[in-house]
């Protein structure tokens, strides 16, 4: 078999795997939105079966030989096929570390734990989650150990590599240390500045769910979301799922506070725009997928934090908000709305945190999940360790586990190693937005007029359309002139939260 023949066969197989993955994605979305609770076991079996089928295709006995044969001629391939082959090997290297029985065990364990988590969270009952959570942690350690042997990485690094290829705990720690050093002092300065400025005028509710939904859809359309290729629904934990041709966004509504759902929708729209903008020519191939979760999070945070919490967005959105909720007077001015959207205050819930305190939530989770994985922290002791960490980092203690260690779906879903990518994404978002403004100075004026085409167009070229054709740092360096770092993010925080007041 020639290298080209081998590559063609690999493309055929990875296309089939992608289709199976897409089916799983839609079933997973349905599980978190409309599926009746009584279908839990059946859905777990469906997802487990599809997962095993995809895994068996990826680790077929001749897959290693096909990769080796194709790689013999890789130097004669064009850039995208060569990058695709590289990504094929990366996926195979991860998958071959796990046998089918372990894949099935992980899928079943996480599916069962997620369903228990929903009720445990509602009840604030961590003890109810422990039996299924112990199984998830046990299987996660088994997965990590298997990947250590196959990839030569440390256990945590092997899990992190699934979400952010090439990154390590040491790299994350090096990025987080400047934030640890700078953010507490900056937080106190910002709180004092905002105290002197006084609180923004209150926005009287209630805010009907239907009005919130209609407003969210209006802004999604303005951003460029294609409702012919996606939809907006409700779930216990907001997320973006589905496929690049069928993107499913979810949020949750609170009639006492429209901002949570609205900013959640804008955040998830950033994820969706990335998926919708991935290179269509490589849709079912590894190189056509998103380049790790740090870049994925950068896209959601760029839209939500950089663009849609800006003063320019407040100018655009103010009349729409006032009309949607029947508001009038000074409370509904762009200036007052901007002050609401940039209000800083330590809080219990990560997804509701402002962009200054959010990284501290992620630092806590990074430290705790490493301790859980290594065995330095017993699972039963997680609530206490969580509360201690919140007190140390943010100066507050959750009243119940509902606002504490039960708030996120990630660990029950087996996503250990995922959390660092949130703050890595915030760092990347700041770099990318600054580079976009430098390249397209008219972006702020366009946002104030409700025109997001210049910004999204720049992202299409420099991020979305590049798929996984290069590493995260290579994509960032080409777009911004530098690999991932903290300086631009910290400068952005000081500019937005201090310079605007002082």
* SS3 call for 431: helix
**Which range among 122-126, 167-171, 352-356, 416-420 shows the weakest confidence by mean pLDDT?**
352-356
Average pLDDT taken over every residue of the chain: 95
Instruction: Give tens-digit pLDDT for 271-322.
Output: 999 999 999 999 999 999 999 999 999 999 999 999 999 999 999 999 999 9
pLDDT average, residue stretch 137-155: 94
Assess whether 108 and 184 both reside in one domain: no
Nearest in space to 351 (alpha carbons), one of 431, 234, 265, 432: 265
Assess whether 204 and 121 both reside in one domain: no
pLDDT at 194: 94
Burial group, residue 36, by CB count within 10 angstroms (0-12, 13-18, 19+):
exposed
* Selected catalytic residue, list 71, 87, 104, 268: 268
Assess whether 188 and 95 both reside in one domain: no
Nearest in space to 261 (alpha carbons), one of 315, 323, 311, 205: 205
pLDDT at 424: 98
Taking 70 as the threshold, does the pLDDT of residue 389 lie above it?
A: yes
pLDDT at 342: 94
Assess whether 123 and 184 both reside in one domain: no
Report the alpha-carbon distance of residue 59 to residue 309 in Å, rounded.
45
pLDDT average, residue stretch 156-161: 96
Assess whether 27 and 132 both reside in one domain: yes
Instruction: Give tens-digit pLDDT for 85-122.
Output: 999 999 999 989 988 789 889 989 998 999 999 999 99
Q: Is residue 330 part of a domain?
A: yes
Taking 80 as the threshold, does the pLDDT of residue 237 lie above it?
A: no
pLDDT at 500: 65
- Percent of the chain past pLDDT 70, that is, above it, reads 99
Assess whether 136 and 223 both reside in one domain: no
The whole domain housing 178 covers: 170-499
Instruction: Give tens-digit pLDDT for 69-86.
Output: 999 999 999 999 999 999
Assess whether 212 and 282 both reside in one domain: yes
Strand ranges of the sheet holding 246-251, from the earlier edge strand across to the other edge: 230-234, 246-251, 240-243
pLDDT at 104: 87
DSSP annotation string for 285-312: SGGGS-SHHHHHHHHHHIIIIIITTSHH
Residue identified by tokens 């206490």 is 384
Instruction: Give tens-digit pLDDT for 245-261.
Output: 999 999 999 999 999 99
Q: Is 268 a catalytic residue?
A: yes
Taking 90 as the threshold, does the pLDDT of residue 48 lie above it?
A: no
Separation of CA 264 from chain center: 12
Q: Is residue 108 part of a domain?
A: yes
Residues 193/501, Cβ–Cβ less than 8 Å: yes
Q: Is residue 279 part of a domain?
A: yes
Residue with the bigger pLDDT between 222 and 149: it is 222
Q: Is residue 156 part of a domain?
A: no
Q: Is residue 159 part of a domain?
A: no
Q: Is residue 430 part of a domain?
A: yes
Residue with the bigger pLDDT between 52 and 474: it is 474
Report the alpha-carbon distance of residue 417 to residue 144 in Å, rounded.
11
Instruction: Give tens-digit pLDDT for 431-474.
Output: 999 999 999 999 999 999 999 999 999 999 999 999 999 999 99
CATH number of the domain residue 380 falls in:
1.10.1370.30
Residues 253/234, Cβ–Cβ less than 8 Å: yes
Count of the separate structural domains present in the chain = 2
Residue 354's φ and ψ, nearest 5 degrees, are -70, 165
pLDDT band of residue 178 (cuts 50, 70, 90) is very high
pLDDT band of residue 58 (cuts 50, 70, 90) is very high
Assess whether 277 and 382 both reside in one domain: yes
- Percent of the chain past pLDDT 90, that is, above it, reads 92
pLDDT at 257: 94
Taking 80 as the threshold, does the pLDDT of residue 364 lie above it?
A: yes
pLDDT average, residue stretch 357-364: 96
Taking 70 as the threshold, does the pLDDT of residue 501 lie above it?
A: no
pLDDT at 502: 57
Residue identified by tokens 């407003």 is 215
**∠ CA 88-90-92, rounded to 5°:** 70
Report the alpha-carbon distance of residue 133 to residue 377 in Å, rounded.
14
Residue 234's φ and ψ, nearest 5 degrees, are -115, 140
């Amino acid at each position: 078999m020639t290298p080209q023949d081998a590559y063609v066969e690999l493309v055929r197989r990875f296309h089939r795997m992608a289709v199976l993955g897409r089916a799983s994605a839609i079933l997973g979305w349905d599980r978190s939105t409309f599926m009746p609770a009584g279908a839990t076991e059946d859905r777990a079996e469906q997802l487990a079966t599809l997962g095993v089928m995809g895994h068996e295709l990826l680790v077929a006995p001749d897959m290693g030989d096909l990769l080796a044969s194709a790689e013999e001629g890789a130097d004669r391939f064009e850039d995208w096929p060569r990058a695709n082959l590289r990504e094929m090997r990366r996926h195979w290297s991860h998958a071959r570390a796990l046998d089918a029985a372990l894949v099935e065990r992980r899928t079943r364990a996480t599916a069962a734990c997620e369903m228990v988590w929903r009720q445990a969270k509602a009840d604030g009952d961590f003890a109810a989650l422990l039996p299924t959570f112990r199984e998830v942690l046990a299987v996660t350690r088994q997965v990590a150990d298997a990947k250590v042997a196959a990839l030569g990485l440390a256990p945590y690094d092997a899990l992190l590599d699934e979400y952010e290829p090439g990154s390590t705990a040491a790299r994350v720690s090096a990025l987080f240390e400047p934030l640890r050093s700078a953010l507490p002092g900056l937080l106190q300065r910002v709180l004092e500045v905002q105290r002197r400025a006084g609180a923004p005028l209150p926005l009287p509710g209630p805010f009907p769910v239907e009005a919130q939904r209609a407003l969210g859809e209006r802004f999604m359309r303005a951003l460029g979301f294609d409702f012919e290729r996606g939809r907006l629904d409700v779930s216990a934990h907001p997320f973006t799922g589905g496929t690049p041709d069928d993107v499913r966004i979810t949020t949750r509504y609170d009639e006492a506070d429209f901002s949570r759902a609205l900013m959640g929708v804008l955040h998830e729209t950033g994820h969706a725009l990335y998926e919708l903008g991935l290179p269509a020519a490589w849709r079912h191939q590894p190189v056509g997928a998103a380049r790790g979760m740090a870049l994925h999070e950068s896209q959601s945070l760029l839209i939500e934090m950089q663009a849609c919490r800006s003063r320019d967005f407040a100018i655009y959105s103010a009349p729409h908000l006032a009309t949607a909720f029947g508001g009038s007077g000074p409370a509904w001015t762009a200036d007052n709305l901007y002050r609401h959207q940039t209000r800083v205050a330590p809080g219990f819930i990560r997804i509701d945190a402002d962009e200054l305190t959010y990284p501290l939530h992620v630092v806590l989770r990074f430290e705790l999940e490493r301790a859980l994985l290594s065995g330095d922290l017993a699972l039963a002791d997680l609530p206490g360790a969580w509360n201690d960490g919140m007190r140390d980092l943010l100066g507050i203690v959750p009243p119940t586990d509902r606002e504490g260690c039960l708030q996120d779906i990630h660990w029950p879903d087996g996503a250990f190693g995922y959390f660092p990518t949130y703050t890595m994404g915030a760092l990347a978002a700041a770099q990318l937005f600054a580079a976009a403004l430098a390249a397209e100075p008219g972006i702020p004026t366009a946002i104030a007029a409700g025109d997001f085409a210049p910004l999204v167009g720049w992202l299409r070229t420099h991020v979305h359309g590049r798929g996984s054709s290069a590493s995260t740092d290579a994509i960032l360096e080409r777009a911004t002139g530098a690999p991932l770092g903290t300086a631009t993010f910290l400068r952005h925080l000081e500019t937005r939260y201090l310079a605007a007041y002082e």
